[in-house]
Amino acid sequence: MIDHHVNVLVVSAHAADFVWRSGGTIAKYVKQGANVSLVILSYGVRGESNDLWNVEGQTVDNVKRIRKSEVEAAANHLGVTNMEIWDFDDYHMQITEDRMERLTRKIREVKPHHIITHGPKDAFNPDHEMVSDYVFKASVLSTSNGVQLEGSPTAKQARLFGFEPHQSEISDFKPEVIIDITDVYEQKEAAMNCFKAQQHLIDYYGAKASLRGNHARRCSGNNDYKYAEAFSRFFPYVGGELV
């Protein structure tokens, strides 16, 4: 059940990752009253802003400024108000002890039931794999009483879900959770359209949402599902009944 008791933390390596891979799910959780917190680790200046670098005289500061405005507009379309951009360098991203502590603190502050981030394998994108490992480790540290951080009481282990990577099969991705996003697909589309440097991805992720919608219908028998997003799971489902 999704309501205001549910806390979700989304950790995105670069500016737009959360939109392509989980924008519909984020919009759905926000719409149904969940508390969604978004951490964007980098603007993706070096690795995911290619079209912007075709502009003569382009600068890092200007790329960051454009990416920031795009991210804010996209988050607005999804209804996310709780967002932080940590401005790490990308390509390649480095995780220091300070950064591990920062994310551990953030997890303890948000107390997420669900964390959505990059899955462990992502062909051609070492930053995504690095972030997957970073989030997994910080989520574990957040639960340990022995990891004492002042003013930061321990959290319960969150469920971790991995984004579908860009190159699904080449990354050995298998959908383990498929979320229907039909009702909020227009919001996702509007959010995707905010990223001018990555226009080529909009068609691609539109097609992917339709493909996963097809899988959602076939696996569930519910023919109302038109668009969906797929995720991997870091841990098995645990519950009192088969669902």
| Least distance to Zn ion, CB of residue 125, Å | 6
Residue partners of 8: CB distance under 8 A and separation at least 6: 26, 29, 34, 35, 36, 37, 112, 113, 114, 115, 116
Structure tokens belonging to residue 67: 């990416």
Q: How far is Cα 208 from Cα 138, in angstroms, rounded to an integer?
A: 30
Return the residue nearest Zn ion (CB atom). 14
Cα–Cα distance, 92 to 53 (Å, whole number): 18
Q: Answer yes or no whether residue 130 interacts with Zn ion by CB under 5 A.
A: no
Per CB under 5 A, contacts with Zn ion among 8-27 are 13-14, 17
Radius of gyration of the chain (CA): 17
The span of 6-14, 109-117, 132-140, 190-198 binding Zn ion (CB under 5 A) equals 6-14
Residue 26's alpha-carbon distances to 8, 173, 207, in angstroms, are 9, 21, 19
- What tokens appear for 213 in the block? 């919608």
Question: Is the CB of 24 or the CB of 213 nearer to Zn ion?
Answer: 24
Q: From the CB of 148, what's the least distance to Zn ion, in Å?
A: 33
The nearest distance, CB 52 to Zn ion, in angstroms, is: 15
Q: Do 127 and 90 meet the contact criterion of CB atoms below 8 Å apart?
A: yes
Nearer to Zn ion, 84 or 186 (CB): 84
The window from 7-15, 60-68, 150-158, 177-185 that contacts Zn ion (CB under 5 A) reads 7-15
Tell me the number of residues near Zn ion by CB under 5 A: 3
Q: Which residues bind Zn ion (CB under 5 A)?
A: 13-14, 17
